[in-house]
């Protein structure tokens, strides 16, 4: 039986991955300090014989050493998340992302354990070559804009992981996650779809930042954890970087319209300047579209769930749990 350790396992993606791996017959241990993860995401798993959890920070090296020594593979998902957290808590962003990953990799090296590290589409920065492919050049904004600290921290995570692979042969796979959405995601940290759904269900104004013409691609969390679990079990992916996301592009204003229509809401859609939502000088990317040809070629994965279906799942989740994420 494979024993998987998931850092950030009480988070939105981590909890779905735990369910996926348990369904495949794995033993699963998660570690999460609940700074952004929520115990209610894993509460239904707590009594299962093959599931364990530790409410602890991944920067606690002694705890990580013990957990890593007991597992076969580490899915490292723990990170500072959300644009609001990045802008308003830049120290935590850097210390958690960089320091936490260093501790995970050191323990993995000590016990020769495979590591799958979750990176982000943010590392593509202000790149204009669309769609983004894994070997593209990256363009980031100035260090005086805290907006770019998250991207820089995840780039350093990638460099560090690949250095461990190259220097000591540590089996490492990196995944760059584009916008992932689905049930259990809440809008507290700036995630756009659950925020839109909550406002629409309450018939409150749906706030679209900027002019709303910036576009994104939204992948269903079930598709994403399927890709992650398949990469984790593949021996052909060591030392490689893979995009995971949906390549169906939609503008944020169109997204608001779709959410409004599918909820039957009477909400008004309003435009809010970036400087009111985040900070003066905040920079956003006009388009962010993944090239998923590499992951399709290597493991045969491609996104399968339409955006409308995902929105309906999120609507149903909030209707069943009106206090979720409040």
Concerning whether 111 is annotated as a catalytic residue, the answer is no
Q: Which one of the listed residues 53, 75, 124, 150 is annotated catalytic?
A: 150
Q: Give the number of other CB atoms < 10 A from CB of residue 33.
A: 19
Structure tokens at 151: 């991207």
CB 68 within 8 A of CB 44: no
Structure tokens at 165: 């692979």
Instruction: Judge if the upstream peptide bond of residue 250 is cis by omega within 30 degrees of 0.
Output: no
Instruction: Report the residue count for the chain.
Output: 326
The dihedrals phi and psi of 6, each to the nearest 5 degrees, come to -115, 115
The dihedrals phi and psi of 187, each to the nearest 5 degrees, come to -90, 10
Q: Which of 68, 73, 109 is nearest to 1 (CA)?
A: 73
Q: Where are the alpha helices (DSSP H) in the chain?
A: 12-23, 61-70, 83-88, 90-94, 100-111, 149-168, 192-201, 221-232, 252-263, 274-277, 293-299, 307-320
Q: Annotated active-site positions, please? A: 150
């Amino acid at each position: 039986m494979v024993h998987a350790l998931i850092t950030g396992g009480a988070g939105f993606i981590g909890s779905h991955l735990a369910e996926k791996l348990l369904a495949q017959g794995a033993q699963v241990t998660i570690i999460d300090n609940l700074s952004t993860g929520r115990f209610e995401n894993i509460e239904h798993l707590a009594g299962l014989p093959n599931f364990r959890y530790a409410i602890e920070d991944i920067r606690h090296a002694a705890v990580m050493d013990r957990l890593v020594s007991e597992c076969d593979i580490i899915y490292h998902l723990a990170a500072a998340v959300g644009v609001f957290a990045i802008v308003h808590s830049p120290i935590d962003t850097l210390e958690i992302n960089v320091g936490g990953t260093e501790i995970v990799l050191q323990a993995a090296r000590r016990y020769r354990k495979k590591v799958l590290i979750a990176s982000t589409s943010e590392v593509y920065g202000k790149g204009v070559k669309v769609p983004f492919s894994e070997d593209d050049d990256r363009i980031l904004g100035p260090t005086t804009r805290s907006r770019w600290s998250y991207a820089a921290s995840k780039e350093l995570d990638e460099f560090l992981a690949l250095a461990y692979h190259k220097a000591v042969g540590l089996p490492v796979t990196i995944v760059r996650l584009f916008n992932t959405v689905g049930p259990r995601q809440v809008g507290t940290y700036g995630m756009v779809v659950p925020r839109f759904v909550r406002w629409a269900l309450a018939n409150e104004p749906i706030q679209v930042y900027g002019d709303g013409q910036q576009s994104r691609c939204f992948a269903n969390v079930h598709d994403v954890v399927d890709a992650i679990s398949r990469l984790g079990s593949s021996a052909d992916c060591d030392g490689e970087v893979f995009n995971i996301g949906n390549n169906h592009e939609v503008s944020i204003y169109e997204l608001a319209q779709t959410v409004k229509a599918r909820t039957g809401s009477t909400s008004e859609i309003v435009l809010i300047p970036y400087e009111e939502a985040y900070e003066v000088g905040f920079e956003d990317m006009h388009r962010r579209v993944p090239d998923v040809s590499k992951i399709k070629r290597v493991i045969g994965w491609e996104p399968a769930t339409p955006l409308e279906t995902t929105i309906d799942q999120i609507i149903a989740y909030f209707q069943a749990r009106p206090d979720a994420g409040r």
